[in-house]
Chain A
Amino acid sequence: MGLLPAFVAIPLLTALVLNIVEQKSWYTHILALSSSIFLAVLSFFTPQTHGIYYVGGFGPHIGINMMIDPLNRLILIVVQVIVMLACWYSVGYMEHYTSKSRFYAFVFLMLAGMNGIILTADFFNFYVFMEIATLASYVLVSYGGRSYELEASFKYMILGSISSLFMLLGIALIYSQTAALNMMVAAERIDPAHPVTFLIIVLFLAGLGLKSAIFPFHSWLPDAHSSAPAPISAILSGVLIKAVGIYVMLRFVFNFIGSENAPLTMLAWLGVIGAFVGVVLALGQKDLKRLLACSSVSQVGYIFIGIGLGTPLGLAGALLHLISHSASKSLLFFSAGSIEYSANERNITLLGGLKKLMPWTHLGNFIGFSAIGGIPPLSGFWSKLLILLACVSAGQWLIGLLAALFAIMTLSLLPKIEKNVFTGDIPEHLKKTKESPSSMIIPMIVLSFFCLGIGLIYLVPSWNQNILTSAVEVLMDGRWLGAINNVP
């Protein structure tokens, strides 16, 4: 339990120290890398059971608590690992940008915000850390300073602020009903049938839907995620929308108000529409990073299909897809960033023949698209299979059929990229392109192995039990009634 504050304190301390060191010194990289590796290692040593840490020594009725259980331990590990790889990747990639130490400072502020969100058991504390994470992400989206990046950042910021304020109003309404901010205490006192609770649900689902880019609220995502520097796109698509949006949505729907009171079927159908809209948008894109960002909308839709089914199998599929999408989408953004770094070009119609010039990037890209498209031994296959099985076993065969159809459409992104970017003649202006530096290649290789191996989480029974099933059990336990009495 004592480890929990370290996940907030260490990134904050790193960010504060990084902001005062000299701009061009080599120890910027060393400090950022060592800190992120340390956090990633530390996250594996968190306890596997339920636990609560009393910040300031005040119990659930009085002060702020941090909590850990198998669900947020899983998300915590995913976040630390992806951010660590993104830091590693940035060593090479950020050579083209100025003010590197401040860049890392923002990454660590964002990490601290995400860790705070994941670990907190207090509504207002959640709001504060959400603001840290999202403010840092607004700045990072505009980090390149080009006019379209500023524009994307501003639009992202408007919608992000609206969603934050929705949630703040929701928190105020929760306080008006329960006089408590602790999630467990409030869950005990809130009356799900009360009309005010309905208003709270509307406000929270709208706010969290905006943050996680579910279908009607997805318009900001392609702009924001494609404008950011590549490692930041990987963090935003890979973990930020999951930590801020989907994880909190899971907690809110299943543990706070109870799945029987939430419009789960609506979530599933919004997921279906999102999966369709995302993949259609992606097929029409010419900009490589924008294509990946649109495909994120589609994959988030799959996660919401799993959540919306509300069955243990569906939730296991949603969680597995969350992990798998984190790995594969980060890998794809890394490889897109590698192409942008070396060829200085993102438009796929102007690229071509990079297979020979950039073999490692091609490999990473190939594995990433195969994983996201669901080619059998790779991660995306198992997670989508689980979601399809869950659809069938829940009797929602129409959703299952549509999900399978959109999965095939996602797969067609692979030949499109292969044809336009990696095969064919090399255009004149790309003749001198070289492979990216090894600091950018190695994270891609690591993520490729993750993409290959994530299916094992489901296939190895003991891992399945420890990682997926125990996390799903947290959600299937339902509302936190009486949880406060069982606190050790």
Chain B
Amino acid sequence: MMVEIAIFFLLIFMIIGMLFVLEIENLLSAVVMMGAIGFGLSVIFLLLGAPDLAIVQIAVEVISVVILIRATIHRDIKERADESLSNISSIPLLVCIFFFFLMIYPALRLLPTFGEPVFLNFYSSSVYYLRDGFHLTGAPNIVSAIILDFRAYDTLGEAIVLFTSVIGALSILRYRNRKKEHNAS
């Protein structure tokens, strides 16, 4: 119950932080606030019994904040987020999103109760991993056993996504895109 209350307040903090990010003028503050939200998320992960994720989340959040500040904002700190005029067009969207929320709200109430995970009701893969994972792989960290053995194919895909984004960034930022003679012709 304590965990639930703590998560409730952390989530409220994150939502307020998100509103802050959306409405503040100064971009630097918005990015720093994003880092704070990520930190709150990391604490939630820790409370929910996911220490692996808490480490990854906090490290990833540090990297995203550093990338955003160093690579974009320091180039042009004078530009403020000029958001004054978009209010009129944003109202219909806001209404749409609100109606979407109303539409899905009944479904959200029918989700499994918080604290009673659904995997216990079925013969699911999680039961198998928890019961036999250690014997089959020899790895005491079951999450590691899943991502590196049972679902290692996903991990390959994930590494390739990161690889794509590395060479993607390199090739987007290359200085010559087309050959000279073509431009002249």
Contact = CB atoms under 8 A, between A and B. Distances in A.
Interface of A: 12, 16, 19, 55-56, 58, 61-64, 95-99, 102, 105-106, 109, 112, 116, 124-125, 128-129, 131-132, 135-136, 138-139, 142-146, 150, 173, 175-181, 189, 194-196, 198-199, 202, 344
Interface of B: 104, 106-107, 110-112, 118-119, 121-126, 128-129, 149-154, 156-158, 160-161, 163-165, 167-168, 170-172, 174, 176-179, 182, 185
A344 B118 contact: no
Contact of B168 (A64, A135, A150): A135
B161 A128 contact: yes
Contact of B125 (A142, A176, A180): A180
B107 A139 contact: no
A276 B19 CA distance: 40
Contacts, number: 124
| Main DSSP-derived SS at the A contact region | helix
B143 to A, nearest CB: 14
A61 B178 contact: no
Given A98-B176, A145-B177, A136 B171 contact: no
A97 B110 CA distance: 54
A97 B178 contact: yes
Contacts of A19: 167
Nearest to A120: B153
B160 A112 contact: yes
Contact of A135 (B112, B122, B129, B165): B165
Contacts of A99: 171, 174
Contact of B150 (A62, A125, A198, A199): A62
B31 to A, nearest CB: 18
B128 A61 contact: yes
B71 to A, nearest CB: 15
A116 B157 contact: yes
Contacts of A139: 164, 167-168, 171-172
A135 B149 CA distance: 26
B174 A98 contact: yes
B157 A128 contact: yes
Contacts of A150: 172
Given A102-B167, A112-B160, A128 B154 contact: yes
A142 B172 contact: yes
A19 B167 CA distance: 8
B81 to A, nearest CB: 17
B150 A189 contact: no
B177 A143 contact: yes
Given A145-B177, A178-B122, A194-B110, A63 B151 contact: yes
A236 to B, nearest CB: 16
A288 to B, nearest CB: 18
15 contacts: A56-B150, A61-B128, A62-B125, A102-B167, A102-B171, A106-B168, A106-B171, A112-B160, A128-B161, A135-B165, A145-B177, A175-B118, A176-B111, A179-B122, A180-B122
A301 to B, nearest CB: 24
Given A56-B153, A64-B153, A109 B177 contact: no
Contact of A195 (B107, B112, B164): B107
B164 A132 contact: yes
A98 B151 contact: no
B150 A135 contact: no
B150 A179 contact: no
A132 B128 contact: no
A96 B185 CA distance: 11
Contacts of B149: 56
Given A61-B125, A63-B150, A179-B119, A96 B157 contact: no
A136 B164 contact: yes
Contacts of B163: 16, 109
B107 A198 contact: yes
B121 A179 contact: yes
A56 B185 CA distance: 54
Contacts of B110: 194-196
Contacts of A128: 154, 157-158, 161
Contacts of B161: 128, 131-132, 135
Given A62-B150, A199-B107, A138 B168 contact: yes
A109 B124 contact: no
A61 B149 CA distance: 15
A106 B167 CA distance: 9
Contacts of A194: 110
B122 A56 contact: no
B179 A98 contact: yes
